[in-house]
Amino acid sequence: MNRKLESEYENLTTHIDEILKADDMNSNISLEEIESAMKHAKLGKAVGIDNLPNEVLRNTSLLSVLQKLFNVCFPNGIVPSMWCSSIIHPILKDGKDYRDPMGNRCISLMSTVAKMFSFILNKRLATFFDRNNTLCEEQNGFRKLRSCLEHIFTLELHKIERKCDRLVLRRFGGTRGQYGTYTVCPVYK
């Protein structure tokens, strides 16, 4: 029994040592990472509090400036105070009265440079978690090629199962999203 525990402990500590060797996570932000963030910045979007449109940030002459800025912010754990502020802009919902504040959907316009910095950090974290298999299988939010719709579907199935004794699930070849069209048919005794 002790040998088994010792071997499990060794495997665990070896895995933890691999996880703690996060050199990729803590290294300086590279020009390639900034170029990737620039390519993912959507054009024609509203500017944030810094009044810099993404079209300006896509200019390759800004690469070294952004790299210097990000490499000061990242290792020191500080960001410009402007990055912590945003402009909240209400947009009136269809068919709602403009005098009713609940008739608005608010969007938050944050700094475009801060979005680029966040993109780089998020990509590093996602890569780290995927490589080290640290997230549980049930975690779908904010992960590539995953959706929370699967969890909602499962919850709905459980809700229906409680109402029926048995459940028959048929999948039709419809093209509603990637999941097809599902029909739930209760089978009575």
What's the total number of domains in the chain? 2
Inter-residue contact 54 to 43 (CB < 8 Å): yes
Predicted pLDDT at 70: 95
Residues 78 and 15 in one domain: yes
Residues 83, 153, single domain; the answer is no
Q: What is the pLDDT of residue 94?
A: 92
Helices (H), 27-111: 31-40, 54-57, 63-76
User: What local confidence, expressed as pLDDT, does residue 37 receive?
Assistant: 93
CA dist 137 → 19, 75, 133 (Å): 18, 31, 9
Domain shared by 60 and 22, yes or no? yes
What is the spatial distance between Cα 119 and Cα 140, in angstroms, rounded to a whole number?
A: 18
pLDDT at 63: 92
Query: In a structure prediction context, what are the per-residue pLDDT tens digits for the chain, which is 189 residues long?
Result: 567 666 666 665 555 555 555 667 788 999 999 999 999 999 999 898 899 999 998 888 999 999 999 999 999 999 999 999 898 888 999 999 988 888 999 888 999 999 999 999 999 988 888 888 777 777 777 677 777 777 777 777 777 766 654 444 444 443 344 444 444 444 443
Q: Would 123 be classed as within a structural domain?
A: yes
18 and 106 part of one domain: yes
pLDDT of residue 1: 58
In a domain, 121, yes or no: yes
Residue numbers of the domain that contains 26: 2-132
Whole-structure pTM value = 0.65
User: Among all chains, which residue has been given the structure tokens 């993912």?
Assistant: 40
